[in-house]
Amino acid sequence: MTVKHSSKRKWMRRAALATGLLVTYPFILLGIEYSASKWSPKITTKTELQQVIDKRKEKLGIEEHIEGVLRPETIGMSGTSINSGMKKIYVGGDLATQIVVDHELYHNHKRDNEVSQIDTIKERLETIYLEEPCARIYSLLRIRL
């Protein structure tokens, strides 16, 4: 009886640990990527940013022009300009690093030309649990998922 009870408790602990990891893995990856960004080569000029984008987009097979925008505030994002239709990557502050450019290039590679809006809970969960972790794994390990 005691053995059975103990194994049930062990199973419950493992299930709780697995559930905890499943819920928190995007945030664990975020922390690892943010830490790695501290050691990633910094980008200090717009020219340097454009060179990094042009060189690294080739690894993902991206042929179209992506304009780099260096901002004074801490930022790392990408998107397509509604006015010009041009793809842009914005980095700045602590996030003006090569690893963040790789992260944003991966988003560009995956999203193609689709204009994404995150409206529903399903879309939010997909972003948190699929899109962002995939971009982080690429920026950290160069593995395309």
- Rank residues 96 and 135 by Cβ distance to Zn ion and give the closer one: 135
Please classify residue 87 by burial: count the beta carbons closer than 10 Å to its beta carbon, then call 0-12 exposed, 13-18 middle and 19+ buried: buried
Q: Shortest Cβ distance from residue 12 to Zn ion (Å)?
A: 35
Q: Scan residues 101-140 and list those touching Zn ion (CB under 5 A).
A: 132, 135
- Rank residues 18 and 28 by Cβ distance to Zn ion and give the closer one: 28
∠ CA(72), CA(131), CA(65), 5° rounding?
A: 55
- Rank residues 43 and 95 by Cβ distance to Zn ion and give the closer one: 95
61 Rama sector, left if φ>0, alpha if ψ -120 to 50, beta otherwise: left
Q: Do β-strands 75-80 and 87-92 pair in parallel, antiparallel, or remain unpaired?
A: antiparallel
| 136, 29 Cβ separation under 8 angstroms | yes
Beta bridge partners of 117: none
Q: Shortest Cβ distance from residue 91 to Zn ion (Å)?
A: 12
Residue 66 makes contact with Zn ion by CB under 5 A: no
Q: Shortest Cβ distance from residue 135 to Zn ion (Å)?
A: 5
Q: Shortest Cβ distance from residue 64 to Zn ion (Å)?
A: 19
Q: Shortest Cβ distance from residue 103 to Zn ion (Å)?
A: 5
Q: How far apart are CA 101 and CA 81, in angstroms?
A: 17
- Rank residues 50 and 76 by Cβ distance to Zn ion and give the closer one: 76
- C-alpha R_g of the chain: 19
- Rank residues 14 and 144 by Cβ distance to Zn ion and give the closer one: 144
Residue with nearest beta carbon to Zn ion: 135
Amino acid at 66: I
Interface residues with Zn ion (CB under 5 A) are 132, 135
